[in-house]
């Protein structure tokens, strides 16, 4: 089976002006990114990314502004907290966004991991099974009510086996964060390469029979360009992380020259099956050099 083509996405946490948002979107499109996605938070405190806000912009509304500023890139949520949405209302907005963007939408859905968002929205936190159940109902409802063509659905997970199983069964794109958030990003723990490999293998096994149609995505936590392929990866304050040697094996921690990182991406596609990488805005310019090296 031929290797799936690479796709590279830029993830925005929208809390600036419309002009700032649209300028970033235009730059991303011009520098080779394939997808622009928007996160879904009400409250937000991400120390490693240097972001703290109350509150951020609604993701689907933000994507309408991104659609107006771009022509080629796909547009998506990364990812809607399923507990905060009703299927009929999401389907209505998705149908409108498909029209506005000329069919460039993909819909990312997650089970939600920040308790503060649930509290702010006055929504019961529930246990993992309940939250994953809400995600499944949102996926099913969206697909039942969305106009043709139904946009691709991304389902995101960190360490939840229930969510990984759901994603492998029902998603077009299975997204891995490569970290365990423990309800607060500031207490995150990076997963080992062995754990990520296990997740990818489990996703492919569960998707048996349609695995060729399932795309694997990973969130990139850091891009560190250096003069050498053996440069030390960066450190992350307030985040539990493995050894330096282990960091070099993580598909969500990219360190080296643009050419060596490009080679790493080819290797990760062979080893893990990951072909879709999502980059955060602080690493946007550095990763653009990697995109050029890959292509």
Give 78-91 pLDDT, tens digit per residue. Answer: 999 999 999 999 99
Share the mean pLDDT of the chain: 90
Domain presence at residue 1: no
Give the residue from 279, 295, 289, 286 showing the smallest Cα distance to 9.
Answer: 279
Domain presence at residue 161: yes
The whole-number pLDDT of residue 53 equals 44
Domain presence at residue 19: yes
Range of the domain at 122: 7-294
Above 80 in pLDDT, residue 185?
no
Domain presence at residue 2: no
Instruction: Report how many domains make up the chain.
Output: 1
Kindly tell me the burial class for residue 59, based on how many C-beta atoms sit within 10 Å of its own C-beta (0-12, 13-18, 19 or more): buried
Relative to beta strand 51-54, strand 105-110 is unpaired
Domain presence at residue 72: yes
Residues 205/207/209/212 CA torsion (nearest 10 deg)? -100
Domain presence at residue 128: yes
Domain presence at residue 270: yes
Do the beta carbons of residue 281 and residue 12 sit within 8 Å?
yes
- What CATH number corresponds to the domain at position 275? 3.20.20.30
Domain presence at residue 249: yes
d(CA 141, CA 91): 8
**Tokens, residue 98:** 């498909």
The per-residue pLDDT for range 214-273, each reduced to its tens digit, is 999 999 999 999 999 888 887 765 667 778 888 889 999 999 999 999 999 999 999 999
Looking at the chain, the whole-number percentage of residues with pLDDT higher than 70 is 91
Residues 103/155/204/279 CA torsion (nearest 10 deg)? 80
* For range 144-155, the mean pLDDT: 95
The per-residue pLDDT for range 276-293, each reduced to its tens digit, is 999 999 999 999 999 999
Q: What is the pTM of this model?
A: 0.93
The whole-number pLDDT of residue 229 equals 87
Q: How many helices (H) and strands (E) does the chain have?
A: 10, 15
């Amino acid at each position: 089976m031929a290797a799936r083509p690479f796709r590279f996405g830029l993830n925005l946490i929208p809390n600036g002006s419309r002009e700032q948002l649209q300028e970033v979107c235009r730059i991303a499109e011009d520098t080779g990114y394939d997808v622009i996605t928007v996160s879904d938070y009400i409250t937000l405190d991400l120390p490693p990314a240097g972001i703290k806000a109350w509150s951020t912009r609604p993701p689907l509304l933000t994507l309408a502004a991104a659609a107006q500023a771009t022509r080629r890139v796909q547009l998506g949520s990364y990812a809607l907290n399923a507990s905060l949405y009703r299927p009929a209302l999401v389907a209505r907005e998705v149908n409108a966004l498909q029209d506005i963007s000329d069919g460039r939408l993909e819909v990312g859905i997650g089970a939600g991991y920040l308790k503060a968002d649930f509290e702010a929205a006055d929504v019961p936190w529930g246990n993992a099974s309940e939250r994953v159940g809400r995600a499944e109902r949102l996926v099913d409802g969206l697909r039942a009510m969305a106009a043709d063509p139904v946009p691709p659905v991304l389902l995101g997970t960190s360490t939840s086996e229930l969510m990984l199983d759901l994603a492998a069964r029902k998603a077009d794109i299975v997204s891995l964060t490569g970290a365990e958030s423990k309800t607060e990003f500031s207490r995150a723990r990076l997963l080992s390469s062995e754990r990520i490999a296990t997740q990818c293998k489990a996703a492919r096994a569960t998707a048996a029979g349609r695995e060729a149609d399932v795309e694997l995505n990973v969130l990139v936590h850091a891009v560190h360009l250096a003069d050498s392929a053996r440069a030390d990866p960066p450190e992350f304050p307030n985040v539990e992380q493995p050894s330096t040697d282990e960091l070099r094996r993580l598909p969500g921690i990219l360190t080296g020259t643009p050419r060596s990182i490009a080679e790493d991406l080819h290797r990760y596609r062979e080893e893990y099956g990951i072909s879709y990488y999502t980059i955060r805005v602080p690493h946007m310019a550095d990763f653009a050099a990697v995109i050029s090296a890959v292509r």
